[in-house]
């Protein structure tokens, strides 16, 4: 399918406007240090939002990713402290994410629970189970060999951002070139039509949740290596950040359409607001309000264009 | 108000949707106290015209006068306040509200916060239901009622509006004999009171009984208005079709090949398919007739692996096969072009090319990776072969006309290289010209050796296209007729057979 850039444009224009404004008003925003911090702190959101894009394209939602991230982060911290080498540890962590994602996927596609309810249940369940098991305690004192994958800070940072961007590029390419991912778009567009076209709709939905779980697992790993502790409340509000980025990136919440570049734009735009305020000397309490306004603007744009399309198609 | 003006007058109404001209000049005059029949084939523009009257659709050109006064900026609310009421083929009640609530809805008397007088409303609803002779419990939830019962509630609702213009769109489609009689009685009562009534139906014997005049629509134009008295069914068919029947349907073949598909005692409880046994030969078109709800679509879905079978055997080319999923069916060379193309036959928001290749993604990809050049080539090939009118392969399917969408749906399944093709209502809602093209294509495919099972609710289409006709009733094959001795009467008798026997 051809990329239809019209839906990504509002986000891209907003991002460009913000950066041009910053270049004039607060050029220090573009200092290497700040850009590096910006990239690092948004890697988790980007990875989760990549999965979320597909979840929303397939016309579902996953609000459990924050809790899932927390559980996997703790697993990751414990495994690191147990001295598991980095490669098996990565596989373990990503696998754990995939398994938790599979539980969501199973509930949605095979049990037929509405995804907002199913993932609300797992969201609460994982978060509370974690609180119960850890008693809110952090996993502290991660071994030095685990931090930055033992590569040192600079190489570690490059590895983190680089692997996230590589994965992003791969998924973007796949979303346009892999037959299985076209089935994702078809299912989200019209699941009954896709079913009648011989697409195994339930499997498609299931695997999208698994992929999201795995990406969330990876996000937890790339996040954990940056610190010496894993806080018990990690991943708080991650689901909201990811969903917001996807929506601002032009993916309609009703599914069937949407693109990964849009999501990258959404992550960059929403993630830049906080630092931008700091550099502009504005009270950072405005961050959430501005992010909210951006989401609202996206929704309005969507409603207006949907209205236009409906006017063309009604019979 | 202008004296002696017709109750409703439409002049030169035109309406296009995207590139499709649904109405291209319709004029209609409706007197108070007249029952005016509106007939035309599917896609002739009847529904669009009604939607314009009821304010759901705005015309591009033309004017509507209500009792002589120009009706402008119509909207559903305005139409209702001006005295338009409509009953559609499909009841549209709120399933989670009771009958009383459904009838009372929208009749709140302006006192937004005053207490609802439920006792009075219930009494009023009962009275309305009694008047039309409906045995429906006023406290029942609308969603729990049967189709005919829901339709009766719709009629009660329309009665309650004291409409001056009442539009009935195939109101008897889901009604039994007794309820139909009651409806006719009501219609004649309303006519006597001076209500102007538009009556749409495909049942000519009904028209003869209730209609004063009839207007024929064809291809979005009003062709002729005449008195119903002295008008025969043949006259109407001739006006509706606009050409002799034989020219619509291409001639059939005579020689058939081996049996391609054999179904023995197929049963699928979840879809209410009870017992289907039939065969289709290579090169043969077997038409599948039956009333709505007789289980034809359900049979096709069961055969296509979309539901679990409970009993029965399926043989493809003489070999017993097991079909557990649509993928199995496609592998065995079975293709299913589903009913209701506008909803599920093509994916409206996907381009023509992606729609064409959706059921055969494997054949245009290498190792799971799509080969766009091959996709474009394949899609372009089918566009040419089927004569799909589309600006490009990248046009969204939703922007094509109904007939062309159907061709894209057909292309999708032809691309799977099927041996057996199941078509479900292949010409539903498309215009006459496109229909003829589809018919020719189907004939051609059969001539090329495909075994074709064609489900259709249009008796004319069944008789014109089928080599044999299988009639379904209540999930079973009620009978199989040869082309030579199948008549509309036989088909209807078989389709009704089980119902008659059950009473």
B343 touching A (Cβ < 8 Å): yes
How large is the average pLDDT for residues A240-259? 92
**Quick check: is B2 in a domain?**
no
Of A197, A200, A257, the CB nearest to B349: A257
Q: CB–CB of A182 and B343 under 8 A?
A: no
In this structure, is residue A315 part of a structural domain? no
Return the residue of A nearest to B398 by Cα. A313
Domain assignment of residue B15, given as a range:
8-243
Is B380 within a domain?
yes
Q: pLDDT category, A301, cuts 50, 70, 90?
A: confident
Say if B445 falls within a structural domain.
yes
Domain assignment present for A312: no
B490 falls within a domain: yes
Residues 284-323 of B with CB under 8 A from A: 306
Is residue B254 very low, low, confident or very high in pLDDT (cuts 50, 70, 90)?
low
B115 CB within 8 Å of a chain A CB: no
Same domain? B211 vs B274? no
Q: Is there a single domain that holds both residue B277 and residue B413?
A: yes
Q: Do B377 and B405 sit in the same domain of this protein?
A: yes
**Domain residues for A64?**
5-307
Confidence of residue B343 (pLDDT cuts 50, 70, 90): low
In the 8-state DSSP scheme, what is residue B344? I
A299 pLDDT tier (thresholds 50, 70, 90):
confident
Q: Looking at the structure, tell me whether residues B119 and B85 fall in a common domain.
A: yes
Query: Where is average pLDDT lowest: A127-136, B1-10, B281-290?
Result: B1-10
Indicate which of B51, B361, B366 best probes the interface with A, i.e. most A CBs within 10 Å of its own CB: B361
Tell me if chain A has a CB within 8 Å of the CB of B126. no
pLDDT: is A276 or B494 the higher one?
Answer: A276
Chain B positions touching A183 (Cβ under 8 A) are: 361
pLDDT of residue B106: 67
Residue B3 lies in a domain: no
The pLDDT tens digits for B21-36 are 789 999 999 999 999 9
pLDDT digits (tens, 9 = 90+) for B60-77: 999 999 888 888 888 888
Q: pLDDT grade, residue B499 (50/70/90)? A: very low
Judgement on whether residues B255 and B214 belong to the same structural domain of the protein: no
Which of A176, A197, A314 is nearest residue B358 as measured by Cβ atoms?
A197
Do B308 and B162 lie in one domain? The reply is: no
Q: Which of the four pLDDT bands, split at 50, 70 and 90, describes residue A275?
A: very high
Of the residues B209, B243, B277, which one is the last residue of a structural domain? B243
User: Are residue B136 and residue B90 in the same domain, yes or no?
Assistant: yes
Q: What is the number of structural domains in chain B?
A: 2
Contacts of B330 in chain A (CB under 8 A): 198
Query: To the nearest whole percent, how much of chain A has pLDDT over 90?
Result: 70
B224 and B251: one domain?
no
**Same domain as B319, residue B445:** yes
Q: Are residues B401 and B283 in the same domain?
A: yes
Say whether A313 and B338 touch across the interface (CB within 8 A).
no
Q: How far is B101 from chain A (nearest CA, A)?
A: 29
Of B243, B266, B300, the one marking the end of a domain is B243
B251 and B206 belong to one structural domain: no
Best A177, A189, A198, A306 residue to mutate vs chain B (most B CBs within 10 Å): A198
pLDDT tens-digit profile of B141-159? 988 888 778 888 988 888 8
Q: How many domains does chain A have?
A: 1
- Give the C-alpha separation, B417 to A1, whole Å: 23
Both B120 and B235 in one domain: the answer is yes
| Complex confidence, ipTM | 0.75
Nearest chain B Cα distance for residue A285, angstroms? 41
At A296, which CATH number?
1.10.3470
Residues 6+ apart with CB under 8 A from A51: A62, A65, A101, A208, A211, A212, A213, A214, A215, A216, A242
Judge contact between B383 and B394, C-beta under 8 A.
no
Chain A contact set for B20 (CB, 8 A): 315
Range from A180-189, B154-163, B252-261, B478-487 that averages highest in pLDDT: A180-189
Report the predicted TM-score, pTM, of the whole model to 2 decimal places. Answer: 0.73
What pLDDT does residue B242 have? 67
With beta carbons under 8 A apart, name residues in chain A contacting B326: 195-200
| Of the residues B220, B243, B266, the one at which a domain ends | B243
Instruction: Calculate how close chain B gets to A59, using CA atoms only, in Å.
Output: 14
In B149-188, the residues whose Cβ lies within 8 Å of chain A are none
Structural domain includes residue A189:
yes
Chain A contact for B354 (CB, 8 A cutoff): yes
Mean pLDDT of B259-284: 92
Looking at the predicted structure, is the pLDDT value of residue A239 above 80? Answer: yes
CATH assignment of the domain containing B80: 3.40.50.300
> Is residue B467 in some structural domain?
yes
């Amino acid at each position: 399918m051809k990329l239809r850039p019209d839906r990504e444009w509002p986000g891209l224009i907003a991002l460009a406007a913000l950066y041009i404004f910053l270049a004039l008003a607060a050029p220090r925003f573009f200092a290497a240090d700040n850009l590096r911090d910006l990239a690092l702190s948004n890697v988790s959101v980007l990875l989760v939002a990549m999965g979320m894009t597909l979840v929303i394209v397939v016309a579902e939602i996953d609000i459990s990713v924050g809790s899932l991230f927390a559980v996997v982060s703790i697993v990751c911290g414990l495994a690191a402290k147990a001295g598991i080498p980095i490669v098996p540890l990565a596989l373990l962590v990503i696998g754990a994410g995939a398994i938790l994602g599979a539980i969501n996927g199973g509930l949605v596609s095979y049990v037929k629970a509405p995804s907002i309810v199913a993932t609300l249940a797992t969201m609460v369940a994982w978060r509370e189970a974690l609180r119960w098991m850890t008693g809110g305690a952090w996993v502290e004192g991660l071994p030095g060999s685990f931090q930055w994958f033992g590569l040192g800070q600079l190489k570690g940072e490059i590895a983190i951002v680089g692997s996230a961007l590589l994965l992003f590029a791969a998924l973007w390419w796949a979303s346009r070139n892999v037959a299985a991912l076209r089935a994702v778009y078809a299912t989200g567009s019209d699941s009954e039509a896709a079913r009648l076209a011989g697409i195994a709709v339930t499997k498609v939905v299931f695997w999208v949740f698994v992929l999201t779980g795995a990406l969330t697992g990876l996000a937890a790993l790339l996040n954990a290596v940056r610190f010496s502790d894993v806080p018990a409340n990690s991943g708080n509000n991650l689901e909201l950040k990811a969903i917001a980025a996807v929506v601002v990136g032009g993916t309609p919440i009703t599914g069937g359409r949407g693109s990964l570049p849009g999501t990258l734009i959404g992550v960059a735009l929403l993630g830049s607001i906080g630092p931008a305020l700091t550099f502009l000397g504005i009270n950072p309490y405005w961050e959430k309000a501005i992010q909210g306004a951006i989401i609202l603007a996206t929704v309005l744009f969507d409603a207006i264009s949907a209205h236009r399309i409906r006017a063309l198609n009604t019979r | 108000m202008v004296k002696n003006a017709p109750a409703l007058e439409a002049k030169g109404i035109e309406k296009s949707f995207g590139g499709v001209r649904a109405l291209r000049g319709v004029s209609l005059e409706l007197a108070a106290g007249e029952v005016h029949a509106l007939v035309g084939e599917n896609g002739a523009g009847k529904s669009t015209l009604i939607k314009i009257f009821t304010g759901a659709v705005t015309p591009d050109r033309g004017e509507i006068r209500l009792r002589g006064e120009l009706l402008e900026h119509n909207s559903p609310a305005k139409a209702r306040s001006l005295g338009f009421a409509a009953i559609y083929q499909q009841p549209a009640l709120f399933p989670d509200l009771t009958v009383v609530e459904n009838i009372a809805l929208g009749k709140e008397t302006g006192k937004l916060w005053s207490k609802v007088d439920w006792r009075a409303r219930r009494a009023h609803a009962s009275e309305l239901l009694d008047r039309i002779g409906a045995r429906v419990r006023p406290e029942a939830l609308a969603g729990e009622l049967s189709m005919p019962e829901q339709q009766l509630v719709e009629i009660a609702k329309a009665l309650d509006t004291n409409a001056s213009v009442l539009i009935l769109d195939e109101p008897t489609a889901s009604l039994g004999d007794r309820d139909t009689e009651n409806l006719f009685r009501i219609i004649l009562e309303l006519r006597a009171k001076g209500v102007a009534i538009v009556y749409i139906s495909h049942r000519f014997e009904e028209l003869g009984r209730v209609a004063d005049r009839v207007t024929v629509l064809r291809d979005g134009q009003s062709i002729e208005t005449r008195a119903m008295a002295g008008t025969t069914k043949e006259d109407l068919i001739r006006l509706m079709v606009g050409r002799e029947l034989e020219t619509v349907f291409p001639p059939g073949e005579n020689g058939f090949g081996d049996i391609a598909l054999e179904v023995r005692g197929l049963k699928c409880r979840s879809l209410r398919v009870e017992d289907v046994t039939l065969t289709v030969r290579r090169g043969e078109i077997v038409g599948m007739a039956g009333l709505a709800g007789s289980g034809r679509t359900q049979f096709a879905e069961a055969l296509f692996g979309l539901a679990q079978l409970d009993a029965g055997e399926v043989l493809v080319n003489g070999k017993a096969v097991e079909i557990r999923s649509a993928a199995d069916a496609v592998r065995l060379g079975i293709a299913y072009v589903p009913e209701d193309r506008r909803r599920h036959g093509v994916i409206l928001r996907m381009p023509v090319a992606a729609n064409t290749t959706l059921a055969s993604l494997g054949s245009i990809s290498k190792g799971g990776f799509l080969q766009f050049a091959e996709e474009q080539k394949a899609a372009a090939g089918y566009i040419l072969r089927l004569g799909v009118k589309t600006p490009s392969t990248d046009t969204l399917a939703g922007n094509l006309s109904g007939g062309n969408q159907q061709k894209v749906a057909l292309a999708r399944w032809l691309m799977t290289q099927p041996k057996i093709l199941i078509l479900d209502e292949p010409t539903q809602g498309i215009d006459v010209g496109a229909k003829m093209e589809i018919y020719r294509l189907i004939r051609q495919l059969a001539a090329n050796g495909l075994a074709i099972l064609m489900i259709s609710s249009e008796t004319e289409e069944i008789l014109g296209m089928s080599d044999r006709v299988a009639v379904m009733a209540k999930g079973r094959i009620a009978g199989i007729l040869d082309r030579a001795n199948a008549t509309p009467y036989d088909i209807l008798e078989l389709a009704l057979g089980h119902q008659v026997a059950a009473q």
